[in-house]
A and B are shown apart, each in its own frame.
Chain A
Amino acid sequence: MLSCREITELASDYLEGELPLGKRLFIRVHLWMCTHCQTYLAQLRKVIELLRRVPKEPPKEELLEILLPEFRRKHRGQA
């Protein structure tokens, strides 16, 4: 029987499907019985979901002013 503390150490690998079948089954049995660890996993899933949606700042205007003409020049040179 895995302890809750062990579950927290395995949770990330578990969500990635990186664990061998035996360990996955032990975790599933534990989760079936332990609402606290279910909550822990749900929190971790939420963190991952938020990371996927971290807002992205646009680059400085000057960067595109350098890159776009270079992209255009390169393409024309090869066309």
Chain B
Amino acid sequence: MVSQMKRSPSAQDVPDENEPDLLARLLDGDEAAFRDLVLSYHNSLVRLAMTFVAERAVAEEVVQETWLGVVHGLRDFQRRSSLKTWIFRILANRARTRGKREARSIPFSSLQGPGSQYEPAVDPSRFDARGMWTDPPRSWSDVGPDELLARRETMGMLQREIEKLPPNQRAVVILHDVEGIPSAEICNILEINETNQRVLLHRARAKLRRALEQHLGNR
């Protein structure tokens, strides 16, 4: 079992273009395909569940229920959305119900609540009265994504900053930027409209950029 837990490179992501093949393998009872599927999405599912429920243990329970739902519902999967979206929607529905039961209901349906009030992308004191930079950003051209990835403390910081985002911003950035799910499908999963989705994504990215800027400025 331990060897099965190790992630193969293919488990990093299950590309959407391979979905028909993946689905056929799953319906054929291919355990390796199912294992890769779990390894690919499990982390993001837990993170998304945490935006609806307070406790990590409860989030993991919801994710386990989701996977069991996937196992039992696979044959009825209608293919009206991608398999990934279907799985994330099952999770969101279960987590939402669980969150309500625990009286932790996130106001995803509106731009009210934490993470929804206006916050500038960049500290206004960095612009002059005409809105032109007085304290411009410094170039990160000397640090490529590969180098940043290699820095464990940078990726650790980024993950901690994702956890610190208000739940609605966190949910959108995980689905959009970490999982690459299209905006229209995210609106469907989170039951929000397109404008809300764009605003939440913008605020989350702006906040993560600020955190990275601060981190790299202090290196």
Q: Is A5 in contact with B177, judged by CB distance below 8 angstroms? A: no
Q: Which of B189-216 contact A (CB under 8 A)?
A: 198, 201-202, 205-206, 208-209, 212-213
The B interface, classified by DSSP as helix, strand, loop or mixed, is helix
| Inter-chain residue pair count (beta carbon < 8 A) | 156
Residue interface bits B31-42, CB-to-A below 8 A is 1, else 0:
100110011101
Does B39 contact A59, Cβ atoms closer than 8 Å?
yes
Known: A8-B121, A50-B149, A71-B31. A56 touches B42 (CB 8 A): yes
Q: Is B9 close to A, CB under 8 A?
A: no
A33 to chain B, nearest CB (A): 11
Nearest-neighbor residue (CB-CB) of B74 within chain A: A74
Q: Which residue of B lies closest to A65 (CB)?
A: B1
Q: Give the one of A4, A68, A72, A76 with max B CB within 10 A.
A: A4
Nearest Cβ on chain B to A61's Cβ, whole angstroms: 6
By the criterion of a CB under 8 Å from any partner CB, how many residues of chain A are at the interface?
A: 49
Tell me which residues across on chain A come within 8 A of B180, comparing CB atoms. 52
Q: Which of chain B's residues has its CB closest to A37's CB?
A: B133
Pair A12/B201 contact, Cβ less than 8 Å: yes
Contact pattern, A 29-61, Cβ under 8 Å of B = 1, otherwise 0: 000001011011011101111111111111111
Bin chain B's interface residue count.
Answer: 35 or more
Contact check: which of A12, A61, A72, A79 meets B205 at CB < 8 Å?
A12
B205 — which chain A residues lie within 8 A by C-beta? 12, 44, 47-48
In the complex, the answer to whether A70 meets B38 with C-beta atoms within 8 Å is no
Instruction: Name the one of B35, B120, B148, B177 contacting A64, with C-beta atoms under 8 angstroms.
Output: B35
Q: Is the CB of B31 within 8 A of A58?
A: no
Specify which chain B residues have a CB less than 8 angstroms from the CB of A57 in the assembled complex. Answer: 43
A58 to B44, CA, bound (A): 11
- Whether the Cβ atoms of B139 and A70 lie closer than 8 Å is no
Residues of A within 8 A of B68 (CB): 67, 70
- Smallest beta-carbon distance B151→chain A, Å: 10
B127 touches A5 (CB 8 A): yes
Closest 3 CB pairs of A and B: A3-B131, A75-B29, A36-B136
Q: Besides A12-B205, A67-B71, 6 other CB < 8 A contacts?
A: A46-B148, A50-B154, A58-B42, A64-B38, A67-B64, A75-B28
